[in-house]
């Protein structure tokens, strides 16, 4: 059971704004802010290196907390500055060669697809975009299996896309990838913190995620999971003397853990804040938060259908906390600005972020209202009432 009053009391921003941009960056808790500012204060008073040594137990706990969040081992976790960097480190570390096939979904994120295109141009890999299943609104598993039978080096797709609330059948994808010997990279940027994740159930070899979204951690934090059995195959595109040991004038050995994806210098305060945020989520309970988030989002979708001119754009049988919609005759950016003037935060997702998906649906941009467990039912009602007022005006 979620204690809504406690969640909101731990979130001072709830008194300032109606925040429905949690798939962009959530409001952090006071505990996270205290951990970050506390470490920065120690850096101010005693020095950065000295403060980092004092904080070693807290930093180690960040790895343990992230491992607990996704059912991994701490040595399978690398803490990096964002989800894109985490994803890039995995993708560019996979030894793909000319003719290797990479299977992805129509809803792939722009940053990831650009990386596919670069390796297509540079290394000769082949990109295969899987069709969607009309019944589920997400990747077609029958088509995936057919392509896997033809041979594939990698299956790579987003768990939740940027422009829709549909959830991909990630565990089913993992079972098929494993059965056909393909590596599996799951982009959990939008799902970590709002959906209950277990890497063994998902059967993914890599999982990338950010801290700033549903985990409510500081910006500039992210992590990469790499399965221990896969790690020996992967050489990150960038190494330093933290990721590898310089063993002789012309030799080095990569770290035996996922820390081979890291570099030595980093934001210690933010890293500690990430760990505190994850511990907070674990204490509240991710399954309980997932149930509440899905319930609030369903309520929001229902209320939006009653607002004249509004069309909900989420398509699929399994929907999460991202709610996307358009308003007839109104540019999404203008609606966003009008809501912001009323202290309500939403975001706009545009075609450049997911070109193939937006083109297939005939869209250029959508409004995205993304709920979290700390949002209240009263906020959902107030949001839709205010939206209706803005559109009338």
The rounded percent of the chain whose pLDDT value lies above 90 is 99
393 — pLDDT class (breaks 50, 70, 90): confident
Give the count of domains, the chain: 2
Distance CA 260, CA 267 (A): 17
Rounded distance between C-alpha atoms, residue 208 and residue 134, angstroms? 27
Q: Are residues 114 and 232 in the same domain?
A: yes
Same domain, 10 and 53: no
Looking at residue 26, what DSSP letter applies?
A: P
Q: Check whether residue 201 and residue 343 sit in a common domain.
A: no
Integer Cα distance of 225 and 261 in angstroms: 10
Read off the pLDDT of each residue in 153-179 and give the average, rounded to a whole number.
Answer: 97
Indicate if 15 and 48 belong to the same structural domain.
no
Q: Return mean pLDDT, the chain.
A: 97
Q: Are residues 123 and 38 in the same domain?
A: yes
pLDDT at 112: 97
pLDDT confidence of 1, banded at 50, 70, 90? confident
User: DSSP secondary-structure letter at 386?
Assistant: H
pLDDT for 92-107, tens place per residue?
Answer: 999 999 999 999 999 9
pLDDT tens for 107-140 read 999 999 999 999 999 999 999 999 999 999 999 9
Strand, coil or helix: what is 392? helix
Identify the domain containing residue 305 by its residue range. 4-27+286-392
Phi-psi category of residue 122: left, alpha or beta, with phi > 0 → left and psi -120 to 50 → alpha = alpha
Residues 118 and 145 in one domain: yes
Q: Which residue has the tokens 């080095």?
A: 252
Q: Tens digits of per-residue pLDDT, 338-351?
A: 999 999 999 999 99
pLDDT of residue 315: 87
Same structural domain for residues 253 and 212? Answer: yes
* CATH number for the domain that contains residue 107: 3.40.640.10
What percent of the chain is modeled with pLDDT above 70?
100
| 172 and 85, same domain (yes or no) | yes
- Residue 305 is part of a domain; what is its CATH number? 3.90.1150.10
Distance (Å, rounded) from C-alpha 281 to C-alpha 267? Answer: 21
What value does the mean pLDDT take over residues 28-48?
98
Could you report the per-residue pLDDT of 365-389, keeping only the tens digit for each? 999 999 999 999 999 999 999 999 9
Q: Which of 264, 283, 302 is the last residue of a domain?
A: 283
Q: What is the SS3 assignment for 217-252? A: CCCCCEEEEECCCCHHHCCCCCCCCCCEEEEECCEE
Mean pLDDT of 259-283: 97
pLDDT in tens, 281-296: 999 999 999 999 999 9
Compute the Cα dihedral for 198, 203, 208, 214 and give only its sign: negative
Same domain, 381 and 299: yes
Choosing from 253, 283, 313, the residue where a domain stops is 283
Q: Are 234 and 358 part of one and the same domain?
A: no
Q: Are residues 265 and 328 in the same domain?
A: no
Whether 240 and 138 share a structural domain? yes
Kindly report the pTM of this predicted structure: 0.96
Mean pLDDT along residues 60-78 = 98
Q: Which of 238, 253, 283 is a domain's end point?
A: 283
- Does the structure show a pLDDT above 90 at 363? yes
């Amino acid at each position: 059971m979620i204690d809504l009053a406690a969640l909101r009391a731990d979130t001072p921003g709830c008194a300032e704004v109606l925040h429905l941009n949690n798939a962009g960056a959530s409001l952090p808790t006071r505990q996270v802010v205290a951990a970050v500012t506390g470490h920065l204060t120690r850096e101010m008073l005693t020095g950065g290196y000295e403060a980092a040594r004092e904080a070693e137990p807290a930093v180690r706990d960040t790895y343990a907390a992230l491992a607990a969040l996704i059912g991994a081992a701490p040595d399978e976790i690398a803490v990096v500055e964002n989800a894109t960097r985490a994803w890039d480190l995995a993708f560019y570390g996979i030894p793909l060669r000319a003719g290797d096939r990479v299977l992805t979904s129509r809803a792939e994120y722009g940053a990831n697809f650009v990386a596919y295109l670069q390796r297509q141009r540079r290394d000769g890999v082949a990109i295969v975009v899987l069709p969607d299943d009309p019944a589920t609104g997400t990747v077609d598993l029958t088509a995936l299996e057919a392509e896997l039978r033809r041979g594939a080096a990698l299956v790579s797709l987003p768990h939740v896309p940027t422009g829709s609330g549909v959830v991909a059948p990630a565990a089913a994808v993992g079972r098929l990838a494993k059965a056909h010997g393909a590596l599996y990279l799951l982009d959990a940027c939008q799902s970590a913190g709002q959906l209950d994740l277990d890497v063994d159930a998902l059967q993914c070899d890599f999982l990338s995620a950010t801290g700033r979204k549903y985990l409510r951690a500081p910006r500039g934090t992210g992590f990469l999971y790499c399965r221990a059995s896969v790690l020996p195959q992967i050489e990150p595109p960038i190494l330093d003397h933290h990721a590898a040991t310089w063993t002789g004038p012309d030799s080095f050995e990569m770290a035996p853990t996922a820390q081979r994806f890291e570099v030595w210098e980093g934001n210690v305060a933010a890293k500690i804040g990430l760990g505190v945020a994850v511990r907070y989520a674990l204490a509240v309970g991710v399954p309980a938060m997932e149930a509440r988030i899905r319930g609030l989002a369903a309520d929001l979708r229902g209320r939006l259908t009653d607002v004249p001119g509004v069309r909900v754009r989420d398509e699929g049988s399994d929907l999460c906390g991202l709610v996307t919609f358009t308003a007839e005759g109104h540019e999404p950016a203008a609606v966003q600005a009008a809501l912001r003037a009323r202290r309500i935060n939403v975001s706009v997702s545009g075609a450049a972020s997911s070109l193939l998906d937006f083109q297939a649906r005939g869209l250029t941009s959508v409004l995205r209202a993304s709920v979290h467990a700390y949002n209240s039912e009263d906020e959902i009602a107030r949001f839709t009432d205010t939206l209706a007022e803005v559109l009338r005006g």
